[in-house]
Chains A and B, each alone.
Chain A
Amino acid sequence: MTHAGGIEAAGEGVDQGTPAVQVSGLRKSYGEREVVRGVDFEVHKGECFGLLGRNGAGKTTIIEICEGYVKLDDGSVLVLGEDPASPSSTWRARLGIVPQEMELLPTLTVSETIAMFRDLYPRPRDVLDVLQLVGLGERGGSRVRGLSGGEKRRLDVAVGLIGNPEVLFLDEPTTGLDPEARRSTWSMIEGLKDHGVTIILTTHYMEEAQLLADRLLILTEGQVAASGTFGELQHQHGSVSTISFRLPAGTETSGLALPALKANVTDANALEFESTDVQSDLSSLLDWARTNSVEVSGLQVARDSLEDLFLSIGQATGSGELQEATR
């Protein structure tokens, strides 16, 4: 295997600066409907890149073009430096794919299924290791047909991992998982990141994207609505924070110069307002409290979650159905 080892070393010797995925001017239509309308992005080696957008925004189409399943109409795509439209076996061996829906042979056992895929790759991982990694260590002898939805989904992920990929496409990996299984999948994905695997993740769970993705791209109707790190997105989209606190009963607040109080104040003494400049609003609140000798208690500052941001970006681009996508 010295020969294969040499190839591997040569592969890793290719300059790390080359992006794992380069997409520019990408367009794709199905019949009359243009589902991807000029999308550009790059995924760096070793990062987790989150692709977000509501159903029909074009996420899966873009992913399937990168995987070599779908031909693009216009633009260019390079994955690990190769054009997915003419995929080679060696190129395929470097990718791991976890599609949204995947059929396996129902009469095979879990271990047999993974072993069958293992045998197709030049440098596979160990079957038992992968099963343990996805939390199916005890289910190796079960038939695929008898798995629960969540177990099936974890088997899909295991099939994507068995070839020890450099780039892993995860199309909604935790859909259908219970909260515990979802959390263990998250820690598994973080483990893969630690091992330098490049991950392209689509998900409808914003907390998942916020937790795992180093950079995000939000698609609306086949176009890039926003992209960057979570912090950059918050900054670009004039993110709003919520400041809440309590005052002693009967406090006179007329002298308090703050932005409009939110309507949904729970009781007379609990106040809440939205702030676009947390630092100055907080200092004017505390100055006022000191001057008037008022005790401010339960002070909290909450920043927007990605979900809030996602919804606001969707509304800004005129799509009212975004809420559906976050369910």
Chain B
Amino acid sequence: MSTMTMVTSQTRYNLIASLRSGTSIAVGIVMPIVFFVGAAALFGSAALGGDIPVEVRGAGETPDLRTFYLGGFMAYAIIYTAFVTLLPEIIEARESGFLKRLHGTPLRLATYVAAKTLIVLAMCVISVVLLTLIARFAFGVETRVAAIGGIAIYVALGTAMFVCLAFGVTSFVRNQSGAQGLSNALGIGLALVSGVFFAPSLLPEAVQDVAQWLPLQPLANGFQSLYVVGASGLSIDLRDVGVLVAWALVGVLAVAIRGFRWQPKQHR
């Protein structure tokens, strides 16, 4: 079998399994949409003062809170699909012995990672497209045609980065409950400081200073900067892109140094 056939096959069957279990759709697609609709409808409404512009670091201001939320929840959907759901999935596959069984075949790690990445990427694309459409038709948030390229770049980069990080931290996680705890803590913790639920400017400056170097804030900031008043063209923020690439490398390095364990902990 060629590597391409293996990637296609692994993608196909892992996707079927994932869709049937439903968790990834609930967490990666339904939840971000529900949260976005809730936040945009409540806090983003004109009645609650949602018409105020919100500052986006290094880019300008979004016209209103609803637009700011759209960018934030795109990033939220990506971390929840590509990290918060993925990490426990990998750990469960490892601790149940499924990965051990796969490792007994000619399958290589790169093929497995590629298949997982493709599945996660597909989910993220669906999530972001739905968010964009709902924002357009329910809240009147326009997406510029030129910004679509920028969105695509951030979706691809953000997904790849969080997949790298998820594989990178597996060697530090012992079991399924550890994976659940870690991924949820990181997911909610990062979302709180990264301009998903509210503007970063509401946070203490020290927190803002740190958050802009963590993985999620640059991604949210990247999406949001595509929607600032007067934005034109791709308007990619090279610093944000640099931080995302750096975190992806951290994940790759972690796998390179600590290795990837296919087998459950020995019970002996």
Could you list which residues of chain A lie within 8 angstroms of chain B, going by C-beta atoms?
30-31, 33, 67-69, 89-90, 92-93, 95, 97, 99, 101-105, 107-108, 112-113, 115-117, 119-122, 159, 163
Contacts and interface: CB of A to CB of B under 8 A. Distances in A.
B176 to A, nearest CB: 12
Nearest to B99: A103
A295 B100 CA distance: 65
B97 A103 contact: yes
Contacts of A112: 13, 16
Contact of A105 (B5, B9, B13): B13
A121 B1 contact: yes
B189 interface: no
Contact of B20 (A33, A68, A107, A115): A107
B104 A95 contact: yes
A107 B17 contact: yes
> For the side of the interface on B, what is the size category?
20 to 34
B100 A69 contact: yes
Most buried by B among A33, A67, A102, A119: A119
Contacts of B104: 67-69, 92, 95, 97, 99
Nearest to B17: A105
Given A105-B17, A119-B9, A99 B101 contact: yes
A121 B98 contact: no
Nearest to A61: B268
Contact of B13 (A93, A99, A116, A159): A116
A119 B101 contact: no
Main secondary structure of the interface of B (DSSP, over half): helix
Given A112-B16, A116-B10, A102 B1 contact: no
Contacts of A101: 97
Interface string B94-137: 00111011111111100000000000000000000000000000
Contacts of A30: 266, 268
A99 B264 CA distance: 14
A119 B16 contact: no
Interface string B234-268: 00000000000000000000000000000100101
A108 B13 contact: yes
A115 B105 contact: no
A274 B64 CA distance: 98
Nearest to B7: A119
Given A119-B1, A120-B9, A107 B98 contact: no
Contacts of B17: 105, 107-108
Nearest to B21: A107
Contacts of A67: 104
Contacts of B102: 120
A137 B5 CA distance: 26
Nearest to A68: B104
A141 to B, nearest CB: 13
B104 to A, nearest CB: 4
Given A93-B106, A120-B6, 8 more contacts: A93-B105, A103-B98, A105-B17, A112-B16, A119-B10, A120-B9, A121-B105, A122-B1
B263 A69 contact: yes
A103 B101 contact: yes
A163 B105 contact: yes
A102 B16 CA distance: 20
Nearest to A88: B106
A31 B20 CA distance: 41
Given A93-B106, A95-B104, A122-B106, A108 B16 contact: yes
A73 to B, nearest CB: 14
A119 B6 contact: yes
A104 B101 contact: yes
Nearest to A33: B268
Contacts of A99: 97, 100-101, 104
Contacts of A92: 104-106
A97 B1 CA distance: 19
Contacts of B103: 69
Nearest to B92: A103
B148 to A, nearest CB: 34
Contacts of B6: 119-120
A293 B113 CA distance: 84
A103 B263 CA distance: 12
Contacts of B105: 92-93, 117, 120-121, 163
A50 B101 CA distance: 22
Given A120-B105, A120-B107, A163-B105, A103 B96 contact: yes
B21 A120 contact: no
A122 B5 CA distance: 11
A31 to B, nearest CB: 8
B61 to A, nearest CB: 46
A308 B108 CA distance: 46
B268 A159 contact: no
A121 B106 contact: yes
A115 B13 contact: yes
A103 B102 CA distance: 10
Contacts of A90: 106
